[in-house]
Amino acid sequence: MQTAEIHRRWLDFFEKRGHTVVPSASLVSDDPSLMFTVAGMVPFVPYLSGLVPAPYPRATSVQKCIRTNDIEEVGKTPRHGTFFQMCGNFSFGDYFKEEAIRFAWELLTTSEDDGGLGFDPKDLWVTVYEDDDEALALWKRHSTLPDERIQRLGKDTNYWSTGQPGPAGPCSEIFYDLGPDAGVDGGPATDDDRYVEIWNLVFMQYQITDVASKTDFTIVGELPNKNIDTGMGLERVAFIKQGVQNMYEIDQVRPVLDRAAELAGKTYGANHEDDVRLRVIADHVRSGLMLIADGVTPSNEGRGYILRRLLRRVILSMRLLGVDGPTFPELFPVSRDAMQAAYPEVAREFEFISRAAYAEEKTFLRTLASGIQILDAAVSGARGAGGEVAGDTAFLLHDTHGFPIELTLEIAEEAGVSVDRSVFATLMQEQRDRAKADAKAKKGQRADLSVYTELRGLGETLFTGYDELNHESRVLGIVVDGAPVREAREGEVAEIVLAETSLWAESGGQDSDQGVIVGDGFEAEVLDVQKPVPGLIVHTAKVVVGTVGLDARAETRVDPDYRRGATQAHSGTHVVHAALREVLGANAHQAGSYNKAGYLRLDFTHGEALSAATRSEIEEISNLAIRSDYDVVTREMPLDEAKALGAMALFGEKYGDRVRVVDIGGPWSRELCAGTHVESSAEIGMISLVSESSVGSTNRRLESLVGIEAFRNFAAERAIVQQLTSGLKVPRAELVTKVQDLGAQLRTAEKRIAALEAEKLAQRVPELLAGAEELGEVRAVLGSLGGVGSADDVRGLALQLRDRLGAEAGVVVLAGDAGGKPVVIAATTAAARDRGVRAGDLAKLGAQVLGGGGGGKPDLAQGGGTDPAKIDEALAEIRRSLAA
């Protein structure tokens, strides 16, 4: 049974039993505490926790998920995957244990011909929480399982909670028995791999507090509404139904594995290490495909970093299999074809997906080449230094160049040297500790969202700011330091929740409004406006006069100048986006934006920098659209109707069933957007593009000033031009030529000065050679040069002196003051290196005295520091080292 067919049967089964079919949410989670959607329940947490009223009594979904906490285990076990799909059915205060157990047994054991999954009951086992007599009785009533195949287990395996005070409850898990050849008898209680967990039924029925650990907490009572949250692992069911050994061999994954094996000339199943690498490739390519399809692009932080890490692990695994060149153009189309039956968007958006993936591979292959050079130098040095690559070098390769330690070890082993694993492990642990501490600190900065549960239960906050700047409302809630209070006094910063508000909450790329909240005897300055949970608008405000109390009448007043600037910038973003696509074509997708009064930032998909002419063209088209005074029309309509009109849904964004469509000039710019906008394009005033830069291998960023800020920028640049034309005494039309001429003259003068300084230094060769010393086993030339032009000058002189030393065991160490920064250069002859003297060690030693760092190759190295006054001391330390 194909994976997409299991997917379809799941949704059909529960839809026929009154469940609302909910499409999979994006892999990019709305939960601010999560980077990705890590479980099928994540999109339903606000309903399960009571934070937001559920829009339906029961629901079902097949949710896309990403987990990377066990990334190192991928490929090594039959069950670890970064991307997986979780089939779920949910009840929000509707049905409970009996129906959940009955539904599960019915779907699993109904024959395939009758629409079920066709499992033989003799292959199934069930576990229940040890004290859950009710669940045990219900399994006996609704299944044909003998008593010995229903096992009671403890809290560590069969009790669910978030790890925080709140909802919790026992759970019941369903396992498939792979048979006696796969492991020991005894059922899931043995914790043997023979028994594969395929479905978990969570019975959310209690409120817990005093949570000390997963098994140590206090149950304070039953929830007013008992909920059901179940999850069936789609990949696990698929590999069982398809008769294969693991999730990497199912129909959605195996084609990529086979193509990778073909490219590498390998046979899957012939070698364990190769098999692990092939499984990593198959898993990570699919994960990369699905992440990019949901709008994530490779970068150096956050979600983009996780994606980059996955893609680079694929490249490195292919390299370890013997393939050095690009492989993504071969692998990603195979994954697309395997996934598109379940997720048609991967085919629809494949041009964007492939461009992002292929560019990342191209970039990393270049990075890999430079890393190999570093490793080759380290291996070469290790051959003469005890046969060991330094642990900090291995860590540098891992941390900066993306080399896994396995690749470093393999290359080192082929060269006959080892790697200092202990230092590497220490540095890795220090990095993990820093990351853990940072994550803990950030987690501590986030408020407990449960504080908003009761407030959200009062209904959605109505935003009235599309039509008015001031609005009379009522205070529904006040939160200070994460706790609800009845009032906030003068000087306090509080979160204030109102029934309605005219203040825009930050979303859709538009920053929050500035303004005040005023009432009888109080005034609060609004510092920020956010939506911590869907449907709830929270104003962070400082009370500057009086006391704000619950149920008080309160009026929101938006700063009109700020709102005017914000609407100019947001409408300007749409205009620039339309101009960008007009110039670059439809493949230039918006990939993110931010706008506030006077400023806009637009990220877009494009693989190369824009020329000055292209930037000028985009700016001109944008300002022509402003001059054309296009009508800006906003309409609300169903999402399908908006798409039929050609409204652009921004890639990776999430939309509800009803959307707001913003037209500027009719279809010229037609986008889905909930932000605030001007009424005609002329109100934008002016667009001034001030910056274009890279934000990744496939993304570019345009920054622009808008309205009065754009005018002020032009005025400032005009003043600079006037100062230059006056000071240089040339007309404006000749200013560029004049500056270019001055630059050429300056460069010529600098070259002449450099040549004179080099000649002056070269004249010191006889003097320095005459002062050579016999130190230990080498003849050493050590000299302080005083003021020098640059490190290059010192290096050139050191090489001349080394050449004059010829075949003897010679060492040259020169130091100078390059513009207030000390520099030390060390050079050695081959005979000196044969005696164990290395330039890198000498440069490092001198740099330490100078208050800096240094190093390099055994034949030539450089160091620097902060204190030129210590140059003589540094040379003396090097002299002592050579003489020892």
> How many other C-beta atoms can be found within 10 angstroms of the C-beta atom of residue 702?
25
Report how far residue 116's alpha carbon sits from residue 110's, in angstroms, rounded to the nearest whole number: 4
The amino acid present at 835, given as its one-letter code, is R
What's the pLDDT at 404? 66
User: Is the distance from CB of 873 to CB of 865 less than 8 angstroms?
Assistant: no
Query: How many Cα neighbours within 13 Å face the side chain of 540?
Result: 12
Range from 234-248, 345-359, 414-428, 705-719 carrying the lowest mean pLDDT:
414-428
Coil, helix or strand at residue 553: strand
Q: Which two tokens stand for residue 137?
A: 């009785």
Q: Are residues 710 and 686 in contact, defined by beta-carbon separation less than 8 angstroms?
A: yes
Residue range 759-802, pLDDT digits in tens: 777 788 888 888 899 998 899 999 998 888 788 888 888 998 99
In sequence order, the β-bridge partners of residue 638 are 658
Residue 444 clears pLDDT 50, i.e. is over it: no
- Separation between Cα atoms, residue 498 and residue 461, nearest integer Å: 7
pLDDT digits (tens, 9 = 90+) for 818-876: 888 899 999 999 999 999 999 999 999 999 999 888 878 899 999 989 899 999 999 99
Angle at 7 between CA 5 and CA 11, to 5 degrees: 115
CATH code at 451-558: 2.40.30.130
Q: Are 457 and 498 in contact (CB under 8 A)?
A: no
How far is residue 837's CA from residue 859's CA, in Å, rounded to a whole number? Answer: 9
pLDDT higher than threshold 80 for residue 675: yes
How is the chain split into domains, by residue range? Answer: 3-246, 252-443, 451-558, 564-715, 730-756, 764-883
Separation between Cα atoms, residue 864 and residue 847, nearest integer Å: 5
Q: Specify the DSSP element, H or E, that contains 658.
A: strand 658-664
Task: Give the 3-state secondary structure of residue 461.
Answer: coil
Q: How far apart are CA 256 and CA 252, in angstroms?
A: 8
Tokens of residue 542, six digits: 């400082």
Rounded-to-integer distance, Cα 235 and Cα 92, Å: 26
Other CB atoms within a 10 A radius of the CB of residue 719 amount to: 10
Residue-level pLDDT at 390: 84
Which residues fall in the annotated binding site for Zn(2+)? 570, 574, 673, 677
CATH class in words for 3-246: alpha beta
Partners of residue 494 on adjacent β-strands: 541
pLDDT band at 385 (very low <50, low <70, confident <90, very high): low
What is the CA 53 to chain-centroid distance, rounded? Answer: 31
Q: Which two tokens stand for residue 817?
A: 């003051």
Digit-coded pLDDT (tens) for 412-428: 876 778 888 888 888 87
Contact 418, 411 (CB under 8 A): no
- The helix/strand count (H/E) of the chain reads as 26, 35
**Cα distance between residue 410 and residue 504, in whole Å:** 56
3-state secondary structure of 383: helix
What is d(CA 177, CA 194) in angstroms, rounded to the nearest whole number? Answer: 6
**What six digits make up the tokens of 460?**
């959605």
Residue 151 pLDDT: 97
Beta-carbon-side half-sphere exposure of residue 320 (alpha carbons within 13 Å): 22
Tell me what pLDDT residue 474 has.
Answer: 95
18 close to 253: Cβ distance less than 8 angstroms: no
CA-nearest of 503, 491, 481 to 554 is 503
Of 584, 579, 665, nearest in space to 621 by CA: 579
The model's pTM is: 0.70
pLDDT band of residue 328 (cuts 50, 70, 90) is very high
pLDDT bucket at 46, cuts 50 / 70 / 90: confident
**Assigned fold of 764-883:** Diaminopimelate Epimerase; Chain A, domain 1 (3.10.310)
Taking the CA atoms of 757, 760, 764 and 765 in sequence, report the sign of the dihedral they define. Answer: positive
707's tokens: 């309205």
Averaged pLDDT score across all residues of the chain: 90
User: CA–CA separation, 724 vs 732, rounded Å?
Assistant: 9
Task: Count the Cβ atoms, other than its own, within 10 Å of residue 416.
Answer: 10
Two structure tokens written together for 721? 């031009």
778: left (phi over 0), alpha (psi -120 to 50) or beta: beta
Q: Look at residue 31 in the predicted model and tell me its pLDDT.
A: 74
C-alpha to C-alpha distance for 857 and 233, rounded to whole angstroms: 54
Element of type H or E holding 478? strand 470-480
- Give tens-digit pLDDT for 179-206: 999 999 999 999 998 999 999 999 999 9
Separation between Cα atoms, residue 223 and residue 168, nearest integer Å: 9
If you count them, how many residues does the chain have? 884
Domains 3-246 and 764-883 equal at CATH topology level = no
Q: Which CATH architecture has domain 564-715?
A: 2-Layer Sandwich (3.30)
Q: Which residues are annotated binding-site positions?
A: 570, 574, 673, 677
Rg (the chain; Cα; Å):
34
pLDDT number for residue 443: 42
pLDDT band at 640; cut points 50, 70, 90? confident
Q: Average pLDDT, stretch 543-568?
A: 96
Residues facing residue 702 across a β-bridge:
602, 692
Cα(95)–Cα(41) distance, integer angstroms? 17
Diameter of the chain measured on Cα atoms = 102
Burial class (CB in 10 A: 0-12, 13-18, 19+), 430: exposed
Scanning the structure block, which residue is given the tokens 């609407």? 567
Q: Report the DSSP pairing between strands 854-856 and 821-828.
A: unpaired
Q: How many Cβ atoms from other residues are within 10 Å of residue 38's Cβ?
A: 19
Is residue 250 a contact partner of residue 279, using CB atoms and an 8 Å limit?
Answer: no
Angstrom distance (rounded) from CA 82 to CA 87? 16
Q: What is the pLDDT of residues 448-485, one digit of tens each?
A: 566 787 788 788 899 999 999 999 999 999 999 888 99
| Cβ partners under 8 Å of residue 113, min gap 6 | none
